[in-house]
Structure 1
Amino acid sequence: MLTINPQYLKDENGERSLVVLSAKEFDAIMEELEDLEDIRLYDEAKKNDTGERIPMEEAFKLIEAERKANG
């Protein structure tokens, strides 16, 4: 579990408006978010997996052709 120690800054009405974190805490949060995004993308890919596979060489050719078409 991630442990953070946020500091809150209040606006003129006394409401919390900003949060201050250490760079280490911020980096840890960003890493957790990236991990969650990877999991989400994996789950989505797994859900849409038809079982169809292509050889790696063919995949590289398709990627290269797309780069040339877009680049």
Structure 2
Amino acid sequence: MNIHAEYIVDENLNKKSVVIPYSEWQEIIEEMEELDEIRAYDRSKQEDDSFIDFDQAVAEIKAGKFE
């Protein structure tokens, strides 16, 4: 992802703000949302050690086995 940032500076040329094209902002937001989902997934796997994969879950449901 290329970011075409423009900086707003104060009288001493210290960067105070950044301006980017809206389409690039949307990409950043989508990436952040995906990262949040990945982190939530990782946390849930660490917190719940009873995790089973999808194929196993389907097989257990079809067999009438529920835990």
Is the pair's TM-score, using the shorter chain for normalization, greater than 0.5?
yes
Question: How far is 1:50 from its partner?
Answer: 3.2
- Letter matched to residue 9 of structure 1: I
The structure that is helix-richer by fraction is 1
Rounded to whole Å, the distance in 2 between the matches of 1:28 and 1:40 is: 18
Rounded to whole Å, the distance in 2 between the matches of 1:26 and 1:15 is: 23
Sequence identity (%): 37
**2:44 partner SS:** helix
User: What RMSD over aligned residues (CA atoms) do the two structures have, in Å?
Assistant: 1.6
TM-score, scaled to structure 1: 0.67
Rounded to whole Å, the distance in 1 between the matches of 2:5 and 2:46 is: 37
Is 1:33 aligned with 2:32?
Answer: yes
TM-score, scaled to structure 2: 0.70
Runs of at least 5 residues in structure 1 that lack an aligned partner in the other structure: 53-71
Runs of at least 5 residues in structure 2 that lack an aligned partner in the other structure: 52-67
Moved over 2 A (4+): none
Aligned residue pair count: 52
Question: How far is 1:26 from its partner?
Answer: 0.4
